[in-house]
Structure 1
Amino acid sequence: MKLVRTRQNLAMWIIDVLLTLLAWAGLVWLLARGMNAMLETHGGPRLEAPIFAALNTLQIYLWIALFNAVILIAWARYQQRKGRKFAQRRAEANALSDQHLSESFNLGE
């Protein structure tokens, strides 16, 4: 499978990298904040209730992500096969030579 690569100017590339790094930093911050909130309670860290509830939610999210991945992969494979069949169909058409084209117009004579 080939990726389409287009050239970006330097400013757009820098903006893309900065936004990507900002998104990753936000994700790490949110994860750390959530884990800290689960572990930091007044009576000390209680591992039984909040973490298992979070793991159940995380399991649901992972099943949804897996389902989405299966759908996307199936759609990509379908488009790949469809594109291959279209390319084969287009490749089978032979170009007419000048002689054959001339003969096709003179069939009735």
Structure 2
Amino acid sequence: MSLLIRSQQSRLGRAVDVLLTLSAWAAMAYLLVQGVASLLASGRHGPRPALVAEIMPTLDTLLIYLLVALGLGTILLAWAKYNERRAGWYQRRSRMPDIAEETLAANFQVSLAILDCLQRQQVLILHNGEDGALAAIELPGTALRLPALASDELLESLRSEEAPSAEPLAG
């Protein structure tokens, strides 16, 4: 089990991430080298102060960084534990139950015969009305355009015809 969640990312997104990460590492290295160089240079130009006096300002800064890091780590750990507990309240990865054809037809506001037509075709053009409901079904490559509320008799007559425009409806 992997604790990382990996998502698809475009090449541009990956390039930006890599560029920002490399620039952050370069900035950190630059600041580290500058700090060490300034410490070494201060020892060459005069009497060398006590080592403890030299390190104390650096330790104060490092202590502040450590406290901020501990605070952020505590917040992230608390958030992770909260999400772990919250996820236990419900099953997130259970399979959705199958939708009955009657329910699907009711959701599309079409008859079962029209739903059967929709499921058989590989390519359809669906036209919606002003209210968003399905208004018409068009079969590309044919001159056939059915109203969404077509009767079962109309569909049966189209299936029984020998016309080429009705071939896509044949099962």
Cα deviation digits, residues 26-74 of structure 1 (max 9, x gap)? 1110111122222311226543323222112212320221122112101
Q: Distance in 1 between matches of 2:71 and 2:60?
A: 17
Q: Which position in structure 2 is the counterpart of 1:36?
A: 37
Q: Distance in 1 between matches of 2:65 and 2:6?
A: 32
Whose helix proportion is higher, 1 or 2? 1
Q: Rg bigger for which structure?
A: 2
Q: Which position in structure 1 is the counterpart of 2:76?
A: 72
CA RMSD of aligned residues (A): 2.7
Cα distance change on mapping 1:2 and 1:26 into 2, 3 Å: same
Look up the equivalent residue of 2:20 and give its one-letter code. Answer: L
SS in 2 for 1:24: helix
Cα distance change on mapping 1:48 and 1:24 into 2, 3 Å: same
Question: 5+ residue gaps in structure 1?
Answer: 96-109
SS in 2 for 1:85: coil
Query: Which aligned pairs between 1:47-66 and structure 2 lie closer than 5 A?
Result: 47-66=51-70
Q: Equivalent pairs: percent with the same residue?
A: 40
Question: How many residue pairs are counted as aligned between the two chains?
Answer: 92
Whose strand proportion is higher, 1 or 2? 2
SS in 1 for 2:24: helix
Cα distance change on mapping 1:17 and 1:44 into 2, 3 Å: farther
Query: Which aligned pairs between 1:1-109 and structure 2 lie closer than 5 A?
Result: 2-41=3-42, 42-43=45-46, 46=49, 47-87=51-91
Give TM-score scaled by structure 1 length: 0.66
With a CA cutoff of 8 Å and minimum separation of 6, indicate the structure with the bigger relative contact order.
2
Q: Distance in 2 between matches of 1:29 and 1:56?
A: 20
Q: Which stretches of structure 1, 4 residues or more, deviate above 6 A after TM superposition?
A: none
Question: 5+ residue gaps in structure 2?
Answer: 98-171
